Amino acid sequence: MLDTTTRTIFSEEHAIFRDSVRKLFDRALLPHLDDHERDGIVERDFWRQCGAAGLLCPTVDPAYGGPGLDFTYNAIVQEELSYAGSHAGLIIQNDITADYIQAYGSEAQKQRYLPKMVAGDCITAIAMTEPSAGSDLKAIRTHARRDGTDYVINGSKIYITNGCNADLVILAAKTDTARGAGGMSLFLVETDTPGFTRGRKLDKIGQRSGDTAELFFADMRVPADSLLGTENEAFSYLLTQLAQERLSVAVTAQAAAQRAFDEALAFTKGRQAFGQRIFDFQNTRFVLAGLKTELQVGWAHLDWAIARHVAGKLDAAAASAAKLWHTELQGRVVDAALQLHGGAGYMNEYMIARLYRDARVTRIYGGTSEIMKEVIGRSL
Ligand SMILES: Cc1cc2nc3c(=O)[nH]c(=O)nc-3n(C[C@H](O)[C@H](O)[C@H](O)COP(=O)(O)OP(=O)(O)OC[C@H]3O[C@@H](n4cnc5c(N)ncnc54)[C@H](O)[C@@H]3O)c2cc1C
């Protein structure tokens, strides 16, 4: 179980909420983890159970069916999910799409989508990346052309989390091709819209329990009121919202790193070599002591970052620094923890193998480590 005794930002209410998250995951998630890994997707019923238990969209206003809490509750869901070793794409809905709709949606859009998202009846995705544009988002080619009371959208997206399961996609498209960042808009696209098709469920080296897909749009006609916010303003929305997305990845990275450490500690205490426990070699204790120290620093920093975000003070550079540091920490911890498992660590039946595979991408998605350094560097 994830030890939270040294955390500084959580109250008794948080403890009760965390307990309800654990109870649901014990019942509805942990018994199915291997099925999710095998199938490459989480069944929709799990989303509904999360909705019924109050785990979806913690920050959504009660006017739209949500509990109206703050990001500390999102962090609890994400910590527990990540510590469990699951990559069910709740992070997209809880930490990203719900906030885009709350921040920029019309009253009609909020009424139409948020209550269903809170209930787990509407699964969402956010589609920005394209085969030819990831880090350089302003280079996207998906294009939305105004035609009377509609927009007609053509293009494609790649690596989209929840892409297979999604009922609703927040789609980034160019509405003014003559402009770069200033010519992008966001659309709320229902996935049963004619012209919308899903491509392959992508075959990833890790995070196999979450679905990741290609999406295609061929003369896809959406009503003009599908526009989210103002035309050509998407880039400023993305810059605003990316801070929370990056902090979320930092949360998952820290919790997964802690799980890897806990796995290594248990394994080395249980296995013998040269007539003693692996744990009793000085090297093992020194490696674990070093990781423990880094994790302690990590939790303190994470609590600082979450509290700062809840206070509205976590700027883009600080959020990028959090993502950079915690994901790089995760990489170091999973590598050392796997090494302490010896050959067992390379076997998929051991949790550490999954944690190792799952960790690699956190330095890539949500903005690569190199882009994080660019953002931080530009703020200096
Ligand atoms: C499992 C997974 C899930 C994802 N989920 C989503 C999702 O739900 N929605 C979505 O829109 N996207 C998603 N992505 C896409 C992800 O955000 C991008 O892969 C990421 O931003 C990097 O873009 P890219 O793959 O095009 O790499 P590129 O931008 O082509 O980068 C290639 C390399 O060049 C480096 N590089 C690029 N620019 C610079 C620079 N200026 N300075 C220095 N180095 C640079 C990068 O750091 C990287 O090392 C997901 C990706 C994965 C793998």
- Which pLDDT score, from 0 to 100, does residue 80 have? 98
- Residue-wise pLDDT for 233-291, tens only, equals 999 999 899 999 999 999 999 999 999 999 999 999 999 999 999 999 999 999 999 99
- Which pLDDT score, from 0 to 100, does residue 113 have? 98
The residues that bridge with 373 in the sheet, in sequence order, are none
Give 99 Cα–ligand 1 centroid separation in angstroms. 22
Give 3 Cα–ligand 1 centroid separation in angstroms. 32
Query: What is the spatial distance between Cα 116 and Cα 66, in angstroms, rounded to a whole number?
Result: 10
- In one-letter notation, the amino acid at residue 118 is V
pLDDT at 341 over 90: yes
- Residue-wise pLDDT for 141-150, tens only, equals 999 999 999 9
DSSP assigned state of 365? T
For residue 163, the SS3 value is coil
The residue to mutate among 159, 168, 170, 189, having the most atoms of ligand 1 within 8 angstroms of its beta carbon, is: 159
- Which superfamily does CATH assign the domain made up of 12-122 to? Acyl-CoA dehydrogenase/oxidase, N-terminal domain (1.10.540.10)
Query: What is the spatial distance between Cα 97 and Cα 91, in angstroms, rounded to a whole number?
Result: 9
- Which pLDDT score, from 0 to 100, does residue 323 have? 98
Does pTM top 0.85 for this prediction? yes
Helix 71-84 and helix 234-270, axial crossing angle in degrees, nearest 10: 40
- Which pLDDT score, from 0 to 100, does residue 371 have? 98
159 CB neighbour count, 10 Å cutoff: 20
Those residues whose C-beta lies under 8 Å from the C-beta of residue 108, and which sit 6 or more positions away, are 225
- Which pLDDT score, from 0 to 100, does residue 180 have? 86
Can you tell me the mean pLDDT for 180-197?
96
Strands 168-174 and 124-127: parallel
Our answer on whether the CB atom of 95 is closer than 6 Å to any ligand 1 atom is no
Query: What is the spatial distance between Cα 303 and Cα 251, in angstroms, rounded to a whole number?
Result: 9
Q: Are 123 and 44 in contact (CB under 8 A)?
A: yes
- In one-letter notation, the amino acid at residue 11 is S
Give 366 Cα–ligand 1 centroid separation in angstroms. 7
276 CB neighbour count, 10 Å cutoff: 9
Give 362 Cα–ligand 1 centroid separation in angstroms. 10
Q: Which residue's alpha carbon is nearest to atom 37 within ligand 1?
A: 135
Q: Which residue's alpha carbon is nearest to atom 16 within ligand 1?
A: 365
- CATH, domain 125-231, list 3.30.300.160, 2.40.30.10, 2.40.110.10, 3.20.20.140: 2.40.110.10
Our answer on whether the CB atom of 161 is closer than 6 Å to any ligand 1 atom is yes
Query: What is the spatial distance between Cα 51 and Cα 319, in angstroms, rounded to a whole number?
Result: 28
- Residue-wise pLDDT for 320-330, tens only, equals 999 999 999 99
Give 246 Cα–ligand 1 centroid separation in angstroms. 13
Q: Which residue's alpha carbon is nearest to atom 30 within ligand 1?
A: 134
Query: What is the spatial distance between Cα 351 and Cα 348, in angstroms, rounded to a whole number?
Result: 7
Q: Tokens 């205490």 — which residue? A: 269
Q: Counting atoms of ligand 1 from 1, which one is nearest the CA of 163? A: 8
Query: What is the spatial distance between Cα 157 and Cα 142, in angstroms, rounded to a whole number?
Result: 8
Can you tell me the mean pLDDT for 44-54?
97
Q: Which residue's alpha carbon is nearest to atom 29 within ligand 1?
A: 135
- Residue-wise pLDDT for 84-122, tens only, equals 999 999 999 999 999 999 999 999 999 999 999 999 999
Token pair of 281 as six digits = 């070699």
For residue 222, the SS3 value is strand
Q: What sign results for the dihedral spanned by CA atoms 372, 374, 375, 377?
A: positive
- Which pLDDT score, from 0 to 100, does residue 170 have? 98
Our answer on whether the CB atom of 69 is closer than 6 Å to any ligand 1 atom is no
- Residue-wise pLDDT for 192-221, tens only, equals 999 999 998 999 999 999 999 999 999 999
Give whole-number Cα distances, 173 to 10, 27, 100, 129, in Å.
Answer: 39, 40, 15, 10
Q: Which residue's alpha carbon is nearest to atom 23 within ligand 1?
A: 134
- CATH, domain 235-378, list 3.30.413.10, 1.10.10.10, 1.20.140.10, 3.90.1300.10: 1.20.140.10
DSSP assigned state of 183? G
Give whole-number Cα distances, 202 to 160, 262, 361, 375, in Å.
Answer: 9, 30, 14, 29
Give whole-number Cα distances, 243 to 123, 225, 237, 281, in Å.
Answer: 22, 27, 11, 42
Q: Are 174 and 142 in contact (CB under 8 A)?
A: yes
pLDDT at 164 over 90: yes
- Which pLDDT score, from 0 to 100, does residue 304 have? 98
Our answer on whether the CB atom of 367 is closer than 6 Å to any ligand 1 atom is yes
- Which pLDDT score, from 0 to 100, does residue 349 have? 94
- Please give the mean pLDDT across all residues of the chain: 97
Q: Which residue's alpha carbon is nearest to atom 26 within ligand 1?
A: 134
**Active site (catalytic) residues:** 245
DSSP 82-139: HHHT---THHHIIIIIHHHHHHH--HHHHHHHHHHHHHTSS-EEEE--BTTBSSSGGG
Domain ranges across the chain: 12-122, 125-231, 235-378
Give 345 Cα–ligand 1 centroid separation in angstroms. 28
Give whole-number Cα distances, 85 to 90, 146, 210, 297, in Å.
Answer: 13, 44, 11, 22
Helices (H), the chain: 12-28, 33-39, 44-52, 71-84, 90-92, 98-104, 107-119, 234-270, 282-310, 316-340, 351-359, 369-378
